[in-house]
């Protein structure tokens, strides 16, 4: 079977990482893949090419799409895929239309957005999402949503319910696994004592991720928990970030924070944490939560997207934008002894193994492609 994946870009992001993981799994099952990046290059292009999968990159924007569209159509006719899989709105719209023009009638859209929070959403993104709703009855054979919440949201926007399929993200439980030794070594390198209570957040700097609430909650929590330490990592989350420096100064907790920027050892870093936090204002199905659970680390999450569904009773769920509630959730886990927290983390890992493993996700996608028939023109 031949599958061509069309995606808006290949920068570091949740959907982009899931594409890489899916490609790795499909390749091991004998699927021949190709990737078209509509907007241009990105860090993950080289990772995909190392799998032996060709990557073509274009300079298509939201408005300057038509010259690139002809090139995409030509590439699709050359590759002759049985199925095209598109990722996110731009690729759903332009990639879906290009697929049809190239004669590929088995098109699978991918939805990876959990909401449009007021004041944080790009109106251009909302506009193209609404445009996709109009196209959803004509272009895609199926529409895959990575989360239940995202599926409901897009059905409310007018997406064709009859074509919707829910396939949650899957996580590499070999790479992301409990490793107390690695976590201990990293704590030593970071200067975190064994009896410090380390609360962490892994997210690029973006208003939707709400680093400010994390810092405000840290200032509240630290008053009653002097052994508390805090670590944040992700793109632009470092001491060069003026907004973060201002928040730390206002909260008086700068000396308790580690700002590590972009890291390549996230699994080890998670194993060094006592609690992993996702305090976003909007999510669909955040990878960081599944990865932390796979590492056996309890999570505190905001009640957005499928976060509450993911953690079940293995973590703590709070309202978004509420530093008092966030600090209270940390306090609840902090009052538990280390053994009880470890057992809670083990339950979280078991939940990932049962419901959100990478193998399970890959099988679901492959079954979908096979169900569509794998033939052109029918």
Q: Is the pLDDT of residue 374 over 90?
A: no
Return the pLDDT at 61: 65
Q: Does 378 map to a domain?
A: no
The per-residue pLDDT for 70 is: 87
Q: Residue range 337-366: average pLDDT?
A: 97
- Strand-pairing partners, residue 230, are 199, 257
Report the alpha-carbon distance of residue 209 to residue 353 in Å, rounded.
26
Q: How many domains does the chain divide into?
A: 2
Task: List, for residues 227-283, the tens digit of each pLDDT value.
Answer: 999 999 999 999 999 999 999 999 999 999 999 999 999 999 999 999 999 999 999
**Mean model confidence pLDDT for the chain:** 94
Residue 178: the pLDDT is 98
**% of the chain exceeding 90 in pLDDT:** 87
- pLDDT value for 375: 46
Residue 338, in any domain of the structure: yes
Q: Taking phi first (over 0 means left), then psi (-120 to 50 degrees means alpha), and beta for anything else, what does residue 373 get?
A: left
Whether residue 377 is contained in a domain is answered as no
Does the pLDDT of residue 157 top 90, yes or no? yes
Are both 234 and 313 inside the same structural domain? yes
Question: Can you give the residue range of the structural domain that contains 206?
Answer: 180-355
Asked if 133 contacts 126 with a C-beta cutoff of 8 angstroms, the reply is no
User: In angstroms, rounded to a whole number, what is the distance separating the alpha carbons of residues 128 and 121?
Assistant: 12
> Does residue 264 fall inside a structural domain?
yes
Using one digit for the tens of pLDDT, what is the confidence trace for 173-223? 999 999 999 999 999 999 999 999 999 999 999 999 999 999 999 999 999
- In 10 A of CB 151, how many CB atoms? 22
pLDDT in tens, 54-66: 999 887 765 556 6
How many CA atoms does the CB half-sphere of 280 hold within 13 Å?
Answer: 29
* Same-domain pairing of 54 and 86: yes
Domain of residue 81, CATH code: 3.40.50.2000
**Within a domain: residue 198?**
yes
Supply the DSSP symbol for 161: G
Verify that 124 and 60 share a domain, yes or no. Answer: yes
157 and 185 together in one domain: no
- Res 124: pLDDT: 84
Separation between Cα atoms, residue 93 and residue 109, nearest integer Å: 9
Q: What is the pLDDT of residue 376?
A: 42
* 367 plus 243 within the same structural domain: no
pTM as predicted: 0.93
pLDDT score, position 65? 62
- Give the pLDDT confidence score for residue 377 in this predicted structure: 38
**Residue 148 and residue 195 share a domain:** no
**What Cα–Cα distance (Å) separates residue 147 from each residue in 112, 160, 268, 347?**
8, 16, 27, 21
Task: List the end-to-end C-alpha distance of the chain, in Å, as a whole number.
Answer: 15
Q: Over the stretch 115-145, which tens digit does the pLDDT of each residue have?
A: 888 777 678 888 899 999 999 999 999 999 9
Q: Are strands 142-145 and 107-111 parallel, antiparallel or unpaired?
A: parallel
Of the candidates 272, 252, 248, 269, the residue with the CA atom closest to the CA atom of residue 260: 269
303-335, pLDDT tens digit by residue? 999 999 999 999 999 999 999 999 999 999 999
> Is 36 in the same domain as 119?
yes
Shared domain check, 346 and 250? yes
Helix extents (H) in the chain: 14-28, 45-49, 66-79, 88-90, 96-101, 123-135, 148-156, 180-190, 211-224, 242-251, 266-272, 287-294, 307-311, 323-334, 338-355, 358-371
Whether residue 175 lies inside any domain: the answer is no
- Alpha-carbon torsion 9, 13, 19, 25, what sign? positive
Residue 72 has pLDDT above 80, yes or no: yes
Residue 275: what are its φ and ψ, rounded to 5°?
-145, 135
Q: Is residue 376 part of a domain?
A: no
pLDDT at 378: 38
DSSP assignment of 128-159: HHHHHHHHTTTS-SEEEESSHHHHHHHHHTT-
Per-residue confidence (pLDDT) for residue 66, from 0 to 100: 66
Burial (0-12, 13-18, 19+ Cβ within 10 Å), 335: exposed
366 with 308, same domain: the answer is no
- Do residues 326 and 198 share a domain? yes
Query: Which residues have C-beta within 8 Å of that of residue 225, sequence separation ≥ 6?
Result: 197, 330, 331, 334
3-state secondary structure of 314: coil
Please tell me whether residues 134 and 188 are part of one structural domain.
no
DSSP state of 204: -
Asked if residue 204 and residue 131 are part of one domain, the reply reads no
């Amino acid at each position: 079977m031949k599958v061509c994946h069309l995606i808006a870009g290949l920068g570091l992001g949740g959907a982009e990482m899931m594409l890489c993981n899916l490609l790795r799994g499909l390749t091991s099952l004998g699927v021949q893949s190709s990737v078209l990046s509509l907007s241009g290059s990105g860090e993950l292009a080289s990772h995909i090419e190392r799998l032996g999968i060709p990557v073509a990159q274009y300079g298509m924007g939201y408005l300057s799409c038509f010259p690139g569209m002809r090139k995409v159509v030509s590439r699709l006719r050359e590759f002759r895929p049985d199925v095209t899989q598109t990722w996110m709105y731009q690729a759903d719209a332009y990639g879906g239309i290009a697929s049809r023009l190239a004669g590929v009638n088995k098109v699978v859209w991918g939805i990876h957005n959990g909401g449009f929070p007021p004041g944080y959403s790009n109106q251009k993104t909302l506009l193209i999402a609404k445009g996709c709703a109009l196209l959803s009855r004509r272009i895609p054979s199926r529409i895959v949503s990575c989360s239940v919440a995202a599926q409901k949201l897009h059905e409310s926007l007018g997406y064709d319910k009859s074509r919707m399929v829910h396939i949650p993200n899957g996580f590499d439980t070999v790479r992301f696994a409990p490793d107390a030794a690695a976590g201990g070594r990293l704590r030593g390198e970071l200067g975190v004592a064994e009896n410090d209570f380390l609360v962490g957040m892994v997210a690029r700097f973006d208003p939707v991720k709400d680093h400010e609430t994390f810092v405000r909650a840290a200032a509240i929590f630290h008053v009653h928990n002097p052994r508390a330490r805090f670590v944040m990592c992700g793109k632009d989350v470092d001491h060069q970030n003026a907004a973060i420096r201002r928040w730390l100064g206002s909260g008086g907790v700068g000396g308790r924070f580690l700002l590590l920027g972009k890291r390549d050892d996230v699994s080890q870093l998670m194993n060094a944490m006592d609690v992993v936090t996702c305090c976003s204002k909007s999510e669909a199905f955040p990878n960081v939560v599944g990865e932390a659970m796979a590492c056996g680390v309890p999570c505190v999450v905001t009640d957005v997207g499928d976060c509450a569904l993911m953690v079940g009773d293995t973590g703590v769920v709070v309202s978004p934008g509420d530093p008092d509630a966030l600090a209270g959730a940390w306090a609840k886990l902090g009052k538990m002894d280390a053994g009880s927290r470890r057992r809670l983390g083990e339950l979280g890992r078991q939940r990932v193994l049962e419901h959100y493993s990478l193998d399970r996700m890959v099988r679901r996608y492959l079954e979908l492609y096979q169900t569509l028939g794998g033939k052109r023109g029918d």
